[in-house]
Structure 1
Amino acid sequence: MRNSLFLLGLVATLFSTACNTSKPTVADQPVAMEVRNLDTMTITPETNGVIDDLEGLLAEAEIPNELPVYRAAHHRTHDLLHTRLDLRFNWAEEQVIGKATLQLSPIFHPSQEVVLDAKGFEFKSIKTASGQDLKYTYGGEKQQVSITLDREYKKGESYTLVIDYTAIPAESGGSEAITSDKGLFFINPRGEEGDKPRQIWTQGETENNSRWFPTIDKPNERCTQEMYLTVDDQYVTLSNGSLVNQTKNADGTRTDYWKMDLPHAPYLFMVAIGEFDIVKDEPWNGKPVNYYMEKGWKDHAKAIYPHTREMLSFFSELTGTEYPWPKYSQIAVRDYVSGAMENTTAVIFGEFMHGTARELMDVDINEKIVAHEMFHHWFGDYVTCESWSNLTLNEGFANYSEYLWMEKKHGRDAADHHMLGERSGYFGSVQRGEPHELIWLDYDDKEQMFDAHSYNKGGSVLHMLRAYLGDAAFFASLERYLSDNKYSAVEVDELRMAFEDTTGEDLNWFFDQWFLKAGHPKLALTTGYADGKVTLTVEQTQSTDNNVPAIFRLPVDVDLYLNGSSTPRRERIWVEQRTQTFTFETSVRPDVVIFDPQHAILAQYDYTKSEEELAAQFRVAPSLVDRYLAIQRLANQDEGGSARTATYTAALQDPFYAIREMAVEVIGEEPTAEQLALIRKIAQGDPHTAPRVAALEFLALAEDETRQAAAELALQAQSYAVVAKGLEVLANVNPTAAAKAATDLEQVENDDIQVALAAIYAGAGDVSKLPFFEKQIKKADGYGAIGLLESYRILLEKGSDAQITAGIKTLTELGLNQAGSPWRRLAATKALHDWREELKEAGAPADQIATLGTAIQQIKAAETLADLKEIYQGYGN
């Protein structure tokens, strides 16, 4: 699953910094002391104070009266072998009319009772396959049905239940990852929402599929399935497995029969129903590859779901395990409550995936999410975590697939740039909250598992393991893990044993500190040179709270660059102490020392280098991370000389776009003639959007004489982001030309263009454009929503009292709508907050300020997403 960590990334970027360079306190230091029996220890003046301290600590230590929390895997008493569902749908009442035929068998002990999960059900009957009525009780906090079987069944004996029911999916909450837990969703069921399509779709993870069919709704359960879906003939259906046949019925409906012969977990069952166009790609190894497209999008299927067949081949080769399922289908639905979900053979995405090839040229998120959900078909669907505590065995691998794909398709620089973002997201989450173990056995709620630990840290830890073992051993171990555990549920020890059995090495030390302990190392590094020796001191400064190790064991390479050479001398060291100094003999002072040149270790650093060292690092170290950090750290230095100037000039010509972009952003107000020429060149036609947009912004702020020509050239670009920035720059130098261009662009349905138009209209104070805003803000999403609603707020201030009142109502409704985009809610609430603050500074009447304050308080009280709540705390009362 890919989830609301998109929003976490925003929060990390806007409201926190991932770098912590604080020095350790005394409490952080290890205590080297053996504690003996206090009754027999000899008391001396020297030891008396220590004894008093220890006795006090022991007296204050609270001895627990309860066992620690342990979120065990579900205790299986019955094995669910097969599920057949016959389903119809009451759109008007949002009900599922179902008949479930379940085949089960006792796991070990004889049993005459079985308990099923069934949330929000009305049961008509529960019978045996022969038609005998069975007694049952239903209810309780867990909403489970306990069924008394017709006799006692023993291991090896199977029995069949036939359950007639009506399911009424009821909203009862949600989480940051999954904003509603209905399990099955009716979209515009009564046709009351204008031109929004009518759809039905499901979202089972974590345990919400039991809101529409009775099952054992646990990740360590697994069964085969059949699905009979009866719908109006106008609708297309999608489910797991293969479409066997379609039967038209006399009442104008049609029944589609889907069959999955391979076992998978109940949370991976899915249904999607609606008016979709089916775009058929070429089969992959004889297996269908299809895209189910909302009307109007079929011509863009391969841009929306890029490289699908290529990824199937790549991941099959990489894992040594051919894609094991009978088909691969992808579909985007309206109002989806998560980012995407890896339902076996039928992945569901949110509508944010939609875009034309021209719109999607500026982003790589689509291909990363396609990779993420596809890799789950090996790690999550084929081999499934046995409990939610082990979720990283699903999500960590899916997260790492994004790196693997970027590395294969776009090169190591692109992959490392992606990893920088993933690690920043994890560090930011730890800064905002407490670290916990990857295998988190004492969570409060299973939904907490869907966080930057399971995803970002999980992927980073796999990257470290790959770097330590090497590619051959790493991928051979994954092949063994998949082979040994196919179609089964696993815990982390099975992953460790697959690596140990493959490599012959005891890896308990690695799995213990990275999977079973919390946190990550914080490293203070210092280097020196004297008497023909380089010294490197590594100090671990992380706090040991929350089960964070005082000492991480870190195998790491150190590269010494000598005499201007771009070929380093590499040394392998093992960091195994809280503070440790390493010595390397060399006849000359190194140009620069690179710690962990692969940049595999998940750590935060305090490592100061001189301008000359950073310049050398940029010049000779091959890693994108080294070049990126060199520019970043040079920019943070108060002063710079010729080495910094030369490095910035080189960075403007770097082969990777993010370095060129950063170089444009950090160069000051007085670039050299060579630098200015390079920036102008970037603005006029860089092959990548990001540095070109940054260069256009630079020229505008510098009031460069070429800015208008660069802006006019930008209006002809393919990238909408470049066009939008060109329009913005043109508006500052030639408003008349910008207004004409804006009119020509108003019909373009693109967020970047709409935000740029909004800024121009707000700046002009043309309240006749308010209808344009009111149309756009209803569908605004992503980071662009913030700029769009800010411009709307600015223009509203120039409107009449009636327009202002209506605008405040609109913003309030957007902020309150928990079913809407979190970005839209944030943008609306921020606009209200900024408006109120401006009124306060202007000394506006108290009643105007109070009106906005009331709206903000209503939104804060209604908000359910933790990250938004945290942001709103800064909005005052």
Structure 2
Amino acid sequence: MMKFLPAAALLATLLTFGCNSQKVVTAPPMETRDLDTMTVTPEANGVIDTENTAVVAEIPNERPNYNPSATRTHDLLDTRLVLSFDWEQEMVIGEATLKLTPLFNPGSDVTLDAKNLDIMSVKSETGTTYEFSYDEARQHVTIDLGREYRRGEEFTLIFDYTAIPAQSGGSAAITSDKGLFFINPRGEEGDDKPRQIWTQGETENNSRWFPTIDKPNERTTQTMVITVADNYKTLSNGTMTGSVTNADGTRTDTWQMDQPHAPYLFMLTVGEFDVVEDEAWNGKPVNYYMEDGWKDHAKAIYPYTREMLTFFSDITGVSYPWPKYSQVAVRDYVSGAMENTTAVIFGEFMHGTERSLIDVDRNEKIVAHEMFHHWFGDYVTCESWANLTLNEGFANYSEYLWMEEKHGKDAAEAHMLEERSGYFGSLQRGGPKELIRFGYDDKEDMFDAHSYNKGGAVLHMLRAYVGDDAFFASLKKYLTDNALSAVEVDELRMAFEDTTGEDLNWFFDQWFLSAGHPALKLDTDHSDGVVTLTVEQEHGTENNVPGVFRLPTQVAILTNGSTIPELHDIVIDQRKQSFTFPSSVAPDVVILDPQHVLLANYNYIKSSEELAAQFKGAQSYVDRALVMQRLALKDDDAMKTATLTAGLSDPYHGIRALAMEAIETPDAEQTRLIQQIAGNDAHSGTRAAAIAMLSEVADVDETQLKSIATQAMQAQPYPVVAAGLATLAGIDPAAAAQTAAELESVDNDDIASAIAVLYSKSGDLSKLSYFEDRMDKVDGYGAINMMTAYQELLGQADDAKINEGVAKMKAQALLQEGSPWKRLAATAAINDLRESSKEVATKAAMVEELGTILDEIKAAETEPQLQQIYGRFGQ
């Protein structure tokens, strides 16, 4: 699952959550004691022992929390669901036929997950009625089988039931666990919003709409018979084996899944979709279910799908094992995307035209992530949520693998750097945790930057340690040995050990079963023909962080202006240790871990000269990126200027962009290079950044700048057009206004943001309607930009108009089912309007009213991270 909350990224970027600071607070070393000098008595449990005056550690009174894999008493062999729907009541009307057998011990009853289902009857295949009872919480149902069944004896249960997941799932704080969702079921949200049904089973929410054994270590084959109005398309797991048009205007589709998979991967989607058929892959259908208006952009929205199927089959050594591959985007989806076997669901954020998706790699990363789950998660499944990283860590790492294959090493390393930053940032909100985490409070807590980001980074380290051939051979063995079964981390370790012949307990204990990462303080010295590198592990040991990490790595030494480093293999395995390397001259720079595979923080300050040498001889994108970032913090000198100038000509667009960020006032040569980037850079984001930068450079000729802006507005990529419009607004506001009016119909966040800024500064209150028309269409950063500009213009209106605008923002801020970006954007705009109103003596009543509205929004908000931000508002 690509399970992400967009607002979380916003927090990290805009509000200093997850900042990139690598300063580590080091805990003092643990005090050691000779236990023979201590006397522990019943009275001295956690208090001062008066006889020996020693502090006695408190003895825990209870065992730590432990979440085991689910105990299996029965094997669920097959599930057949016959389903129809009451849209008005948001009801599932179902018949579920389950075939089971005792796993080992005989039994005369069976307990299933059936969360708040209304079960009318449970019968056998012959019509015998079984007695059943719910537990007090109505989460599990126990069926009395009437006699004892032994291992190998099969029995069938036929449930006649209904479910209303909207009533049984979710709570005031959690709205995403309903399992099955009706979208605009009664048409109350208008004709512009389609009516849809879709499911989201992970973690254990499919049992809110059918009875099952809702655990990741269960597997079952599946048939789903779905009756809907004939204008709707259906999608489910496996292959459609039949479709019958009924006399009452409905249609019944039958979907068959012959390979067993976990119940949380069951899915269905109902809606008005155009089905776009791609060329089959190895005889297996590949298709895209497209909402109205998007079918012509299917391959841009789901890029490289067939190519990825080939790539992932090749690198794993296991050909894509399922009968088809379908992808669909739905409205109001509660997660990023979900790897339901053969039928992936995405949120509508995936939608875009070929033009709007130029240089956007988000979609292909998410397509890769969900597809790789079909090997790691669907084919081989974590047996418990504590082992979730065996699903999500691999899916996360697939994004690196795909970027490396399709776009090159620089693109892959840039992505990994972002993933690591996300992990480091998450620690400020929750501290270090183990990857394999049996002590979680809630299974949903496992879906975090440890299971995902750190999990992928750890696999990258494992790949670097054993080498590519052994890494991918080990993955093939792991997948082959554990095909269509549930696993825990030891099975991954053993696959690598069997392949490489090496005991890897040290690696798995350190990175999977322990928490944290090393914080390394580095010092270098050169004397008497020797380079000395001293490495000290500074991190604390709280939360099960190892005091000493074992880190096999390399040291690169560059001397005499060379761009070819001298490489030395080392193993860091002490709290503090020194390594020496012969060198007749002082090194230009010493680089630890030149391939940058270690997940670590570093405390090592380099001079401008060292950074220049590092940039010149860098083997890695990370080296070059770090040079650009660190030079930005240094005082200007000739070496800094020369290195940043070189960065403007780097072959990778990301380095060119970082170089521009690091330059405060460009010199003549840098200005020339930035103008070249602004005029014709191959990457639209970098080109747009150059255009924006030139508009701030005082000595750029206005005529030339206008020419660049005008040329930009003829470009294909929207970010370039938007940058051109923003630049033109500062030179020729009238021409910019005319162009903005022509672009108002363009449905693109970059364009909308540029127009919004222009209109917010115009003072033209007639432009408020543009904001109000766009308010529901923008998301992400676009929503922030739009709302900020809206409140700036709205603040210039009379009180009556302000009240109308505030009511619109309030409605969006309170919509818990909507995008958290939009809620945050609306709430922040109300707060900004309140702050600006404080400066006007006659606005005291409005300030008070806006404060009351903010309090209401805070009370209604269910997302903890937004609640944390809102705590800053209205003070």
TM-score range, shorter chain: over 0.9
Asked if 1:416 corresponds to 2:413, the answer is yes
**Counterparts of 1:58 and 1:80 in 2: how far apart (Å)?**
54
* Residue 498 of structure 2 is aligned to residue 507 of structure 1: no
1:709-788 matched pairs, under 5 angstroms: 709-788=707-786
Q: Is the 8 A contact 1:436 1:517 kept in 2?
A: yes
The partner residue of 2:487 within 465, 485, 490 is: 490
Number of the residue aligned with 1:120: 116
Cα pair distance change 1:6/1:582, threshold 3 Å: farther
Structure 2 residue 62 is matched with structure 1 residue 66: yes
1:35 offset after TM fit, Å? 2.3
Q: Which residue of 1 aligns with 2:545?
A: 548
2:126 match: secondary structure: coil
Cα deviation, residue 141, structure 1: 2.3
Alignment of 1:806-845 (within 5 A): 806-843=804-841, 845=843
* TM-score normalised per structure 2: 0.96
Evaluate the alpha carbon distance shift between residue 388 and residue 625 of structure 1 in structure 2; reply closer, same or farther with a 3 A threshold: same
Q: 1:804 aligns with which of 802, 805, 830?
A: 802
Q: Please state how far the C-alpha of 1:5 moved relative to its aligned partner.
A: 4.6
Q: Would the aligned equivalents of 2:24 and 2:539 in 1 still touch at CA under 8 Å?
A: no
Superposed CA deviations along residues 313-334 of structure 1, whole A, max 9, x for unmatched, are: 0000000000000000000011
- Contact 2:116 / 2:138 at 8 angstroms: preserved in 1? no
Aligned partner of 1:44 in structure 2 is: none
Deviates more, 1:755-764 or 1:126-135: 755-764
Please state if 1:78 is matched with 2:66: no
CA distance in structure 1 between the aligned counterparts of 2:865 and 2:255, rounded to whole angstroms: 40
Which ranges in structure 2 are unaligned for 5 or more consecutive residues? 40-47
d(CA) in 2 for partners of 1:460, 1:57: 44
Equivalence for 1:111: 107
Task: Show the counterpart of 2:697.
Answer: 702
Question: Closer, same or farther in 2 for the Cα pair 1:273/1:15, shift >3 Å?
Answer: same
CA distance in 2, matches of 1:389, 1:634: 42
Question: 1:569: which partner in 2?
Answer: 566
CA contact (8 A) 1:812 1:828 kept: yes
SS in 1 for 2:359: coil
User: 1:315-394 to 2 correspondence within 5 Å?
Assistant: 315-394=312-391
Q: Post-superposition shift, 1:712?
A: 0.7
Structural mapping, 1:173-192, within 5 Å:
179-192=175-188
* TM-aligned CA deviation for residue 234 of structure 1: 1.0
Deviation (angstroms), 1:514: 0.9
Q: Distance in 2 between matches of 1:291 and 1:54?
A: 77
- The offset of 1:842, in angstroms, is 4.4
Classify the secondary structure of the residue corresponding to 1:163.
strand
How big is each residue's C-alpha offset from its partner over 1:822-851, in whole Å with a ceiling of 9 and x where there is no partner? 100111111111122222344554321111
1:7-60 superposed Cα distances (whole Å, 9 cap, x missing partner): 3222222223544554665x43355x56241279xxxxxxxxxx999966642x
* One-letter amino acid of the structure 2 residue matched with residue 473 of structure 1: A
Give the length in aligned residue pairs.
863
CA 1:126–1:15: 2 relative to 1, 3 Å: same
Contact 1:172 1:181 in 2 (8 A): no
Deviation at 1:758, TM superposition (A): 1.2
Match status 1:847 vs 2:845: yes
Aligned: 1:676 with 2:634: no
1:526 alignment counterpart: 523
CA RMSD of aligned residues (A): 1.9
Change (3 A) 1:172 1:699: farther
Which residue is equivalent to 1:792?
A: 790
CA distance in 2, matches of 1:182, 1:798: 44
Per-residue Cα deviation, 1:850-877 (whole angstroms, up to 9, x for no partner): 1111111111111111221222222244
Q: Is residue 439 from structure 1 mapped to residue 415 from structure 2 by the alignment?
A: no
Whole-angstrom distance in 1 between the partners of 2:229 and 2:482 = 41
The structure 2 residue matched to 1:468, chosen from 455, 460, 465, is 465
1:271 equivalent in structure 2: 268
For residue 648 of structure 1, what is the aligned residue in structure 2? 644
Aligned counterparts of 2:578 and 2:188: Cα–Cα separation in 1: 70
Q: Could you report, residue by residue, the CA deviation over 1:40-98 in whole angstroms, capped at 9, with x for unpaired residues?
A: 9xxxxxxxxxx999966642x22112111110011111110000000011111110000
**Structure 1 residues 539 and 234: CA distance shift in structure 2, 3 A:** same
Relative distance call for 1:848 and 1:151 in structure 2 (3 A) is: same
Paired with 2:828 and 2:135, the residues of 1 have a C-alpha distance of 43
Q: For 1:370 and 1:176, locate their aligned partners in 2 and report how far apart those are by CA, in whole Å.
A: 32
Q: Is the 8 A contact 1:179 1:338 kept in 2?
A: no
Q: Equivalent residue for 2:217?
A: 220
- Trace 1:129-148 onto structure 2 (pairs within 5 A): 129-141=125-137, 143-148=139-144
- 2:228 & 2:769 partners in 1: Cα distance? 39
1:569-608 equivalences in 2 (<5 Å): 569-608=566-605
Once the two structures are TM-superposed, the CA of residue 479 in structure 1 deviates from its matched residue by: 0.5
Q: Partner amino acid for 1:774?
A: E
SS across alignment from 1:366: helix
CA distance in 1, matches of 2:117, 2:531: 71
Q: 1: CA distance between counterparts of 2:388 and 2:146? A: 37
Within the candidate set 647, 661, 685, 2:680 is matched to 685
Instruction: State the secondary structure of the residue aligned to 2:76.
Output: strand
State the alpha-carbon separation in 1 of the partners of residues 172 and 521 from structure 2: 34
Deviation at residue 247 of structure 1 after TM alignment = 1.1
Q: What SS is found at the alignment partner of 1:100?
A: strand
Is the 1:305–1:370 contact (alpha carbons within 8 Å) kept by the matching residues of 2?
A: yes
* C-alpha separation in 1, matches of 2:675 and 2:723: 15
One-letter amino acid of the counterpart of residue 76, structure 2: L
Indicate the percent of aligned positions where both proteins have the same amino acid: 62
Work out the CA distance in 1 between the residues paired with 2:49 and 2:677.
Answer: 69
TM-score (norm 1): 0.96
Structure 2 CA distance, aligned partners of 1:251 and 1:365?
Answer: 43
Q: Indicate the larger mover: 142-151 or 98-107.
A: 142-151
The one-letter code sitting in structure 2 at the alignment partner of 1:675 is Q
Contact 1:177 1:450 in 2 (8 A): no
Q: 1:287 and 1:224, CA in 2 relative to 1: closer, same or farther beyond 3 A? A: same
- Corresponding position of 2:44: none
Q: CA deviation at 1:540?
A: 1.1
**SS of the residue aligned with 1:74?**
coil
| Partner SS, residue 2 of structure 1 | coil
Measured in 2, the distance between the counterparts of 1:825 and 1:309 equals 37
Amino acid at match of 2:7: L
Tell me what 1:35 maps to. Answer: 34
Distance 2:619 2:157 in 1: 63
Contact 1:525–1:607 (8 Å) recurs in 2: yes
The change in CA–CA distance for 1:242 and 1:579 in structure 2 (over 3 A counts) is: same
Q: Does structure 2 conserve the Cα–Cα contact (< 8 Å) formed by 1:20 and 1:604?
A: no
**Aligned-partner Cα distance in 1 for 2:168–2:433:** 27
CA distance in 1, matches of 2:470, 2:621: 25
Are the aligned partners of 2:113 and 2:140 in contact in 1 as well (CA < 8 Å)?
Answer: yes
The residue type paired with residue 36 of structure 2 is: N
Distance 1:239 1:518 in 2: 39
- Measure, in 1, the Cα distance between the counterparts of 2:437 and 2:161: 36
CA 52–599 in structure 1, closer or farther in 2 if over 3 Å, else same: farther
Alpha-carbon spacing, 1:773–1:35, altered in 2? closer, same or farther (3 Å): same
What is the SS of the residue equivalent to 1:616?
Answer: helix
Note if contact 1:8-1:425 (Cα within 8 Å) is conserved in structure 2: no
Equivalent residues of 1:175, 1:447 under 8 A apart: no
Question: 1:48 aligns to what?
Answer: none
Give unpaired runs (5+ residues) of structure 1: 41-50
SS of equivalent residue, structure 1 residue 534: strand
Residue identity matched to 2:552: P
Q: Is the 8 A contact 1:513 1:552 kept in 2?
A: yes
Q: Which residue of 2 aligns with 1:859?
A: 857
Please report how far the alpha carbon of residue 150 of structure 1 lies from its aligned counterpart in structure 2 after TM superposition. Answer: 2.5
Alpha-carbon distance in structure 2 between the residues aligned to 1:508 and 1:20: 32
